[in-house]
Amino acid sequence: MNVFQKILASHEVSCEGDELAVFPDQVLTQDATGTVVFLQVEAMGIKKAKPDVVSYIDHNTLQVDFRNHDDHRYLQSMAAKLGIKLSRTGNGICHQVHLENFVKPGGILLGSDSHTPTAGGAGMLGMGAGGLDVAVAIAGEPYYIAKPQVLGVELTGCLKPWVTAKDIILYLLKKLTVKGGVGKVIEYFGEGVKTLSVYERATICNMGAEMGATSSLFPSDENTFAYLKSLRREQDWAELKADADAAYDERITIDLTTLEPLIAFPHSPDHVKTVTEAEGTPLGQIAIGSCTNSSYKDMAIVAAILKDKTIAENISLVITPGSRRILSMMSQTGVLQDLVEAGARILEVTCGPCNGIGQAPASGTNSLRTYNRNYRGRSGTADAQVFLASPETAAVSALYGRITDPRKFGECPKVDLPERFAESSNMILSPRGGAGEGEIWKGPNIKPVPLGSPLPPHMDFSAALKVKDHVSTDDILPGGAKMLALRSNIPDSVPYVFSRLDAQFKDKIDRLPEVWALIAGENFGQGSSREHAVMVPMSIGMKLVIAKSFARIYRQNLINYGVVPLTFADFDDYEKISPHDEFHIGEFPQQIQSNRVRIYDKTQDFFFDTRCDFSRRQIELLLQGGLMNYVKHKI
C-alpha cells in the first residue's frame, strides 16, 4: 500500500459508492471561517465536540473597530462551551502552530482552511473543507470526499544550492496547472524525499492546494522524528512509509538536480517561469512569510543573506514569522536582529498581507511574495502585479531592488536548525472542567447563517451573471480587512458579492429574481475554502451554478447549501448562452437522480444537457436544502 491507503486502513473509513466517509482525529478552524462554523454548531444543538478540535485566531487580527475582537470573544466562549482548545491572538498562523503542537504522523486532520494539507509535511493526512462540513465533523459525523486517485511523485537526486522546496512545488504547478490536482491526493516518495526537512515538505504540501488537490502527503521518517524531537514531541512520532511495491494511479518523476529557481508571474500560481526570465523586473515591495514560508528555517536563511547589509532604497520589506515560538527563537539566535538591522519590518505572527490584511502594494507596482496565491486584487491593490518565489529569491532581490536570480549572490549561506525549540504552549487555552462552561458571548455584528431551501419539482430562473475560467473565491467575495470583518455578518456582505467580476452587480441585487443562476467556465471557485462565497449569493437567490468544471471544495460547499452545481455536457453550450437568458427545468428532483439534467433556454429556444454526478448522499442533501437541514433532521 501507499501512505494514503495505509492511513485510511488504520481509521474507520467506509466507502459509499464513489465517496469515502472519514472520521477525522483532529479538526482545526480559523477565525475567518470559524465564527460561522461555530454558529452552525450552535444551530445544530451540539453541546460537546466529538474529535479533538483547535480553534485558531490568526486571520482577523487587525482590530480597526469592535467587530474582529467581538468575533474573538465569541470564539473563546464557544471553545469553553464545547470543551475545545483555542490558540489565542498573536500565537501564530494555524497551519504552522498546528504543525508544531498537534500534527501526528498517520492521523487525519480536517480544517476549515484550504491549506490544511500542510500537515502532510509530517505524514498526517490534512484536508481542507468548507465550514459546514467542519461543523458536522465537530458534531461527530463523518466527512465525505469523492474517492481520490493517488498521484505518486517520485523525487530523485537532491536540490542544488539556491534551489528550494518552493521551486519543487512551483515546478509541479507549472506542469499540472491550478486544476491538475482536482480529485487527487499527491503523495511524494523516492530517495529525494530524504533530502528534505519537514519545513520543506510542509511548504510543498501547503501549495498542493493551489492545484486543487484533496491532500498532499510525505512519509514519516527519521527527518520527521528529528522535527518532532526538536519540539519535545518525539512520543508522537510513528514511522509511516509506502511499501516498496506500492501502486499509484499516476506517477511523475522529478529529478531535483535539474531544477532551478522559479517564480510565478501574475496573476496565477501556475504561471511559472524561471527567475532568470523575470530578472530585472523592478520591485516596490517584498513580503516574506505566510503559512507557506514562515518556518524558522525560512527566517534564518533570509537573515543570513541580509546580515550586515541594507535592503535597496526602493524596497519595503515585510516579514511575518509563522508562530510566536519561531519569533522567540529568532530573538534568541540573533536572526531577528539581523533582519531588523537590514531594514526589514517585522509584522505580527498572523496571516496578514497574504489574505489582504495590510501591506497593500503601491498602485501599479510589483510585489514579490513568498506566499501561495497571487490572484488579481488579493493583495489589496487592484492593479498591483504580484510574483511568488522562494525566501532565498526574495531576500536576494531585496538587496538589489529588483527580481534577481539568487545564484548571483554567490555562495548560498548555510543555517543551523535548533536541536530543541523552547516550550511555547501558554497561549493555547485548554478547556477547564470539560464542556459546558460559561455563557456564549456574541457582539452585534454576529448574525445567524442562512439556510438553503428544498429543491422544487420544477424551476424557472434567469442567468444573473456569466463569468470566464478560473474564477476564485476572492473574485466571488473579496478578502481583505474590510470584508474579513464581515465574515460573521452575511447580510452586510451582500453588497460586495461579485464586485470584482461586475462592479455594477450591487446595483442589480434589488432587481434580481427570486431564483437565479450563474454561468461559469472551468475550475470555478478555486482558492480559499471560504463558504461565504456560496452563502452570500445563496442568501439572495442563487440556486444553480452551471459551469464547465468546479474546484473541489467550492462544489461541495454549493451542495452543502442546497445550491445545485451542474456541468456542461457540451462546452459549446456555454458559448451559446447569454447573460440574462431565461431557463426552465422540469422534473428537477427526478433528473438529478439520473445524474443528467436537461435545461431549456427559453430566450434562445434550445435545449442543452448538463451532468451532475452526485452521490446518493449529495442528492439527499440537495432535496432537503443542504447539509444543515440534513444533519439537524438526522440528529
CATH code where residue 503 lies: 3.20.19.10
Q: CA-to-CA distance for 222 and 20, rounded, in angstroms?
A: 31
Q: CA-to-CA distance for 154 and 191, rounded, in angstroms?
A: 8
Show the domain range for 34: 3-258
With respect to residue 434, please indicate whether it lies within any of the assigned structural domains.
no
With respect to residue 101, please indicate whether it lies within any of the assigned structural domains.
yes
With respect to residue 136, please indicate whether it lies within any of the assigned structural domains.
yes
With respect to residue 7, please indicate whether it lies within any of the assigned structural domains.
yes
DSSP 8-state class, residue 363: T
Last residue of a domain, one of 226, 241, 258: 258
Q: Are residues 135 and 17 in the same domain?
A: yes
pLDDT of amino acid 529? 83
Q: Are residues 478 and 343 in the same domain?
A: no
Q: What is the CATH number of the domain that holds 365?
A: 3.30.499.10
pLDDT of amino acid 179? 92
pLDDT of amino acid 437? 66
Q: Are residues 269 and 399 in the same domain?
A: yes
Q: Are residues 270 and 383 in the same domain?
A: yes
With respect to residue 452, please indicate whether it lies within any of the assigned structural domains.
no
With respect to residue 111, please indicate whether it lies within any of the assigned structural domains.
yes
Q: Are residues 606 and 493 in the same domain?
A: yes
With respect to residue 516, please indicate whether it lies within any of the assigned structural domains.
yes
pLDDT of amino acid 12? 87
403 near 368, Cβ under 8 Å? yes
Q: Are residues 387 and 507 in the same domain?
A: no
pLDDT of amino acid 439? 83
Pairing of strands 564-568, 459-466: unpaired
Q: CA-to-CA distance for 351 and 92, rounded, in angstroms?
A: 8
Give CA angle at 197 (270, 402), nearest 5°: 45
Q: Are residues 307 and 368 in the same domain?
A: yes
276 near 405, Cβ under 8 Å? yes
Last residue of a domain, one of 203, 223, 258: 258
DSSP 8-state class, residue 515: S
Return the closest-CA partner of residue 329 out of 244, 403, 423.
Answer: 423
With respect to residue 81, please indicate whether it lies within any of the assigned structural domains.
yes
Q: Are residues 271 and 343 in the same domain?
A: yes
Element (H, E) at 154: strand 149-156
Give CA angle at 569 (568, 572), nearest 5°: 70
Domains in the chain, number? 3
Helices 131-138 and 627-634, interaxial angle, to 10°? 10
Q: Are residues 536 and 622 in the same domain?
A: yes
The residues, any chain, with a CB within 8 Å of residue 448's CB and separated by 6 or more, are 39, 43
Cα–Cα distances (Å) from 433 to 45, 47, 74, 429, in that order, read 20, 14, 19, 12
Last residue of a domain, one of 196, 229, 258: 258
Q: Are residues 171 and 269 in the same domain?
A: no
Q: How far is CA 95 from the centre of its chain?
A: 10
List per-block mean pLDDT (blocks of 10 residues) for the chain, which spans 635 residues: 97 88 96 92 88 94 89 94 94 96 98 96 97 93 94 98 98 96 96 97 97 97 97 96 96 98 96 97 97 96 98 97 95 96 96 87 96 90 95 98 96 90 88 71 90 92 95 91 87 94 93 95 91 95 97 94 96 95 95 94 97 92 91 75
- Both ends of the chain: CA-CA distance in Å? 36
Q: Are residues 388 and 337 in the same domain?
A: yes
Q: Are residues 85 and 120 in the same domain?
A: yes
